[in-house]
Structure 1
């Protein structure tokens, strides 16, 4: 932890922790963003001639002839930014000097890339034995597939998720968000904080190796044990759960709702609420185990629920049952953003960007009572803090910084 470097310190659970974020696009930058939200001094390191490609991703906030990527702004809020060209000797030397004072480094290059540049984990750990080096990749730092290129959809496909998603009558379908990236982000944050605690207690850093494919496999719920125990291969089941019933999408008068009253308690409450209390005691469907049987469910349970819901609007159903049963309107993103409940949880926040005004983006879902997140600091311009970081953290004077700039290293 560096407390007296001259770098700006932000309040939070991670105040004083210095993070070098060399990552690009989503999985790594989001990891850095979460750490920044909770007070870490996160320094985004970009190549001056090949910056993070998401600076050009839509949607765009425009002010005159200037534009700002809303995508980049969302995943890079709260960070300082510097430029370093790691293909140059001076750039690599500067990274080593920065890493010597940092607590954490995050990168998501293909395994072996940092080693080829001469700034891999082993090299940086020699300078700073307590460094936590978090490497996010498609297939991990070890194994025969480690050098394969990968994106989110690679992870969804290779991790089995596509095969479990989609209509039973159609082909496999990609999950409608970048779950391979997002899963890797969350496991990377967890692994980084675990390693940081160990480093703070022992002075020993370590390599945190997180693969997108591994992360997706860990999100497949019961699919692995279903296969290893019963030999059952998960299949795509549309909006239904493989075996929990009722737990699916149902049509109503003006749209759709999720209805998931599968436990005995919720089933009894549903029967009472919809005026058929006697069904809760019906010996064919009176227990959760009986209702899980697919044939019994299709013949006895599903028609009853369809009848309950068909004549009522989604709003009526949520008003009638939403506080009692797991019954939820299927909302669009517009509905979610404009939902008062979203605002109550600060899950859409306006971050003020100089010259552009507030950019509304998702907030921080982790709510800490004593050290809450600060999501108010905007994403910075490319290289905006290069000089101050190199002076404060690496100890460079202005002449040395000017020389690096003249040589194209920053």
Structure 2
């Protein structure tokens, strides 16, 4: 991380968001991922943790390092490129300190249950009085208004209440959660977009605002055609396994050493596929020669899928990808090990090495590629309070004696 000090006070990084200062008082993933994206893009992100109760994602596996000094790679992945300070927001001194920092910040990101910051006397209206241009980004389970706003929530809450859980799995089995924390991740992505939009507005108006993002809302937008199927046709989306509700062939097919995704449902791709696998006449077979015929579930099950299974079963995933080339949409269904070792992923710089406990550990990189920016080498996640002296001294203007007194009193 290349750092300069704006007016000898504000730490800045290189990148398109250089000079932007973000206070991150979030924990776990719904929030830390949002601020991580901003940090990756050059913002100076200051992670604020309670001095006695730091982000409990620090206890999540996998761990790196020797026994007694192990550090969480999970935590590091979502908190790289950040500076770390500790503040007890329940103490009077801690509240006053956060307000001082807010005066020098552009953005504050929090993921408490709605009402928590108000009870701490640190809600948006209070902080707005300190800095009218502040962007206050709030991520929660159900958002800041509505009958469910005060309910506790986790990622699974978003998947359940946003409808995605009910759609996932197989028709003859109970619904299955998506196999990742998609509610946390989606909310963080929308929060990052909303934050940048609010910053653009603040540049024009000089005024900040609240960016209110809920996990339920975010998950709802990931349900593809489910909402319009219900509102237009009163159809309720249900688990389909690896099938698509109206596009065929478009799904998972077995091969010699695993499975591939094949999506050659258009007449063009279907004709190319038939030729590639040595049976060009199948493209003109009157039973399956049009998209409309191949879309029929019975035709797909009795004529199209058996044909594809026969073709694909002769080859490995790698061989099928070689045959497909750039001619038809066919991709190996890869394990994470295969993805991490994928040459294309490497070419895109999507596995970056982050320092953790004296080692370089690979983790996912930034998927936003800007032609005018050079991606800097990622820096390690901070230890709790690692940058107290740097940030609180320079940004809040505290003397060494004041810092010592705050620490002794439990405020930092």
TM-score bracket for the superposition, by shorter chain length = over 0.9
Give the match for residue 44 of structure 2: 41
- Kindly indicate whether residue 401 of structure 2 is the aligned counterpart of residue 399 of structure 1: yes
* Unpaired stretches in structure 2, ≥5 consecutive residues: none
Bigger shift: 340-349 or 139-148?
340-349
Give the match for residue 327 of structure 1: 330
Give the match for residue 286 of structure 1: 289
SS in 1 for 2:380: coil
Bigger shift: 294-303 or 311-320?
294-303
Give the match for residue 230 of structure 1: 233
Bigger shift: 325-334 or 387-396?
387-396
Cα distance in 2 for residues equivalent to 1:395 and 1:290:
72
TM-superposed CA distance for 1:29, in Å, is 0.3
TM-superposed CA distance for 1:119, in Å, is 0.3
Question: Does the CA-based 8 Å contact 1:363-1:375 persist in structure 2?
Answer: no
Give the match for residue 72 of structure 2: 69
Pairing partner for 2:273 from 260, 270, 275: 270
Cα distance in 2 for residues equivalent to 1:284 and 1:231:
31
Give the match for residue 6 of structure 1: 9
1:7-406 to structure 2, matched below 5 A, reads 7-63=10-66, 65-353=68-356, 355-406=357-408
TM-superposed CA distance for 1:338, in Å, is 1.6
TM-score, with normalisation over the residues of structure 1? 0.96
Cα distance in 2 for residues equivalent to 1:264 and 1:119:
60
TM-superposed CA distance for 1:69, in Å, is 0.5
- Check 1:144–1:372 CA distance in 2 against 1; reply closer, same or farther (3 A cut): farther
* Unpaired stretches in structure 1, ≥5 consecutive residues: none
TM-superposed CA distance for 1:287, in Å, is 2.9
Cα distance in 2 for residues equivalent to 1:346 and 1:178:
23
Q: Deviations over 1:259-309 (max 9, x none)?
A: 111122211211121122233233443332332222232233222212211
Cα distance in 2 for residues equivalent to 1:187 and 1:170:
32
TM-superposed CA distance for 1:68, in Å, is 0.8
Q: Deviations over 1:329-362 (max 9, x none)?
A: 1111111112222211111111124x52212211
Which runs of structure 1 show a deviation greater than 6 angstroms over 4 or more consecutive aligned residues? none
Q: Deviations over 1:97-141 (max 9, x none)?
A: 101110000000000000000001111011111101100000000
Question: Does the CA-based 8 Å contact 1:77-1:375 persist in structure 2?
Answer: no
SS in 2 for 1:242: coil
Aligned length, in residue pairs: 408
Bigger shift: 51-60 or 276-285?
276-285
Cα distance in 1 for residues equivalent to 2:209 and 2:251:
43
TM-superposed CA distance for 1:64, in Å, is 5.3
TM-score, with normalisation over the residues of structure 2? 0.96
TM-superposed CA distance for 1:5, in Å, is 4.5
TM-superposed CA distance for 1:310, in Å, is 1.8
Cα distance in 1 for residues equivalent to 2:287 and 2:152:
52
Bigger shift: 124-133 or 393-402?
393-402
